[in-house]
Structure 1
Amino acid sequence: MTITDDIKHQWRTGGMLKRLLMVNIGVFLAVWAVELAGWLFNAKGLGYLLLDQLMGTSDPAKLLRRPWSPVTYMFTHQAPMHLFWNMVMFWFSGQLFQDLLGGKRLLGFYLLGGLSGFVFYALGAVMPAHLALASNGPILGASAAVMSVLIGIATYRPDMLVNLFLIGPVRLKYVGIAILVLDLIAIRGGSNTGGHLAHLGGALYGFLAARQLAQGVDWSGRLVERLEGLGALF
């Protein structure tokens, strides 16, 4: 079996979690390949041209020209460690989520949580100036979408025990709370403010959607049904 055959097999049989992981890794490799080509052929801005099309922006004029970017940003990474840690967190939380709620809902939480994160990032630009929440730069990465999945499953099954390296068994709700507290602390530091706002937006969606799901209301149901109708992701 060739590498291509193995990738196709994993895509067909690996479930939604693996598919989303593969998309994130695939986009990263595509960006890396374009950046490498730019370096080889003395066109170093080539990689940024691709990134600029994929990253999210709070600039209304750019957003009108790139209406796809609120979706593509959540699959786009430039730094290897950014991708690595996001995917580690996604693998951890996504397995728990998919086992309990299924792959289709995992996709819904990922996409809608990522969009919620983008809205929070964009709203930072209209917040009072003294809060210093406006972000001057673009946004990229799966963090908001992953936060939606993590906080979603922590809200749906708060007392589930998970084994953490060097710590041992911990209730899932405490994992979620700890990560949220770290984001709230970091947001005042002025570093990656837009990113931390997006994390909180994703977390809020995950929390509210999981609460509704526990009551029998699936916010992502219609979106997933429409995507399922396309037949490509399922």
Structure 2
Amino acid sequence: MFDSIKKDLEQQFRYGGMTIRLVLINLGVFVGIMMIRLILFIVNGGQVPGFFHTLTDGLSIANSWKLILFRPWTLVTHMFLHLSFFHILINMLYLYWFGWVLENLVGERKVLNTYVLSGLSGAVLFFIFSGFLYEGTTYALGASAAVMGIAVAAATMAPDHEFHLLFIGRVKLKFLVLGLVLLDFIMIPAMSNSGGHIAHLGGAFMGFFYIRLLYQGIDLGDINFRPRMKRPKFDVYVNKEKKNSTMNRRPMDKQDQIDRILEKIKISGYENLTQEEKDFLYEASKK
């Protein structure tokens, strides 16, 4: 049984796409951390020792620039770390639902870019505002900011895509994500997790900003990013027989087709694409 499970997980990680990989990485880290806590709990006579909290703090993002400077890995590790079952359950459900929508539109690499950049953006806002909210050193962890970035990115590209919610029915993606963003705004004064909700908003902003720049040909996830240069226009000759000569038209290349479809999504939404356009965008996203 365990060999079969292992084989299935390996196949999903290899061929399932970036969304599935991110879910599996988060689940793997959670299981590993929970196993460490269980072992320490048993060895320590039924109590979780302070070492466990030292370990998790060492993987979480702190609101102290000195701690970040000496533990730079926390900029990445915090967005894969969860210590609560319901925390990781909600985050992974959102990541799976919204991640698949985004991955079908822009491909695997840009899903990873959105996840990491949104997680970092959330960490920056947490660092900036936590000084006003908390006294002393505070830590943040979890994929919530990264997942919010993916949700907003998906809603930006396909606002009219519909989800079927239990007891509610069909809800358009734009309204669902707007509700999640407004909920974070409302929960900030509650003070139970104000820094976390602010971090979520940082991730949401980055998700929107990333897609808007992507429409301009700029990928923030590309270290050597630069605006895509406009192609030169070709003159069209006119003769007596035909108003426009087809001999001087160049065929639309693959990138032009992708740009045209993305522009159509921007104007009228993903749902208004033809099935041929959806199929073409899906095939292009897998490369």
Q: CA deviation at 1:133?
A: 7.1
2:64 aligned to 48, 59, 62, which one? 59
Counterpart amino acid of 2:183? Answer: L
Moved over 4 A (4+): 133-136
1:14 aligned to 13, 16, 35, which one? 16
1:145 aligns with 146
2:112 aligned to 95, 107, 113, which one? 107
Alignment of 1:207 onto 2:227: no
1:231 aligns with none
1:160 aligns with 161
Task: Give distance in 1, aligned partners of 2:134 and 2:216.
Answer: 34
Equivalent positions of 1:149-188 (< 5 A) are: 149-188=150-189
* 1:135-167 deviation digits (Å, cap 9, x = unpaired): 852101000000000001101122222222222
Instruction: Describe the SS at the equivalent of 1:169.
Output: strand
* Segment of structure 1 superposing worse, 132-141 or 5-14: 132-141
Give the RMSD, CA atoms, in angstroms.
Answer: 2.1
Q: CA deviation at 1:198?
A: 0.6
1:227 aligns with none
2:39 aligned to 37, 40, 55, which one? 37
* Segment of structure 1 superposing worse, 16-25 or 151-160: 151-160
Instruction: Describe the SS at the equivalent of 2:58.
Output: helix
| CA separation of 1:4 and 1:194: change in aligned 2, threshold 3 A | same
Any stretches of 5+ residues in structure 1 without a counterpart?
Answer: 225-233
Indicate the structure (1 or 2) with the bigger Cα radius of gyration: 2
Any stretches of 5+ residues in structure 2 without a counterpart?
Answer: 226-286
Instruction: Describe the SS at the equivalent of 2:139.
Output: coil
Task: Give distance in 2, aligned partners of 1:158 and 1:191.
Answer: 31
Instruction: Describe the SS at the equivalent of 1:221.
Output: coil
Q: CA deviation at 1:223?
A: 8.2
1:117 aligned to 119, 122, 139, which one? 122
TM-score (norm 1): 0.88
| CA separation of 1:107 and 1:121: change in aligned 2, threshold 3 A | same
Count matched residues. Answer: 221
* 1:179-203 deviation digits (Å, cap 9, x = unpaired): 1111000011111111011100000
Task: Give distance in 2, aligned partners of 1:19 and 1:97.
Answer: 14
Instruction: Describe the SS at the equivalent of 2:223.
Output: helix
2:191 aligns with 190
Q: CA deviation at 1:8?
A: 1.8
Counterpart amino acid of 1:48? Answer: H
| CA separation of 1:133 and 1:150: change in aligned 2, threshold 3 A | farther
* 1:51-110 deviation digits (Å, cap 9, x = unpaired): 122111111222122111011000000011100011011111011111111111100000
TM-score (norm 2): 0.72
Instruction: Describe the SS at the equivalent of 1:54.
Output: coil
Mapped contact 2:13–2:21 kept (Cα < 8 A): yes
Mapped contact 1:134–1:194 kept (Cα < 8 A): no
Mapped contact 1:144–1:198 kept (Cα < 8 A): yes
Mapped contact 1:160–1:171 kept (Cα < 8 A): yes
Q: CA deviation at 1:215?
A: 3.0
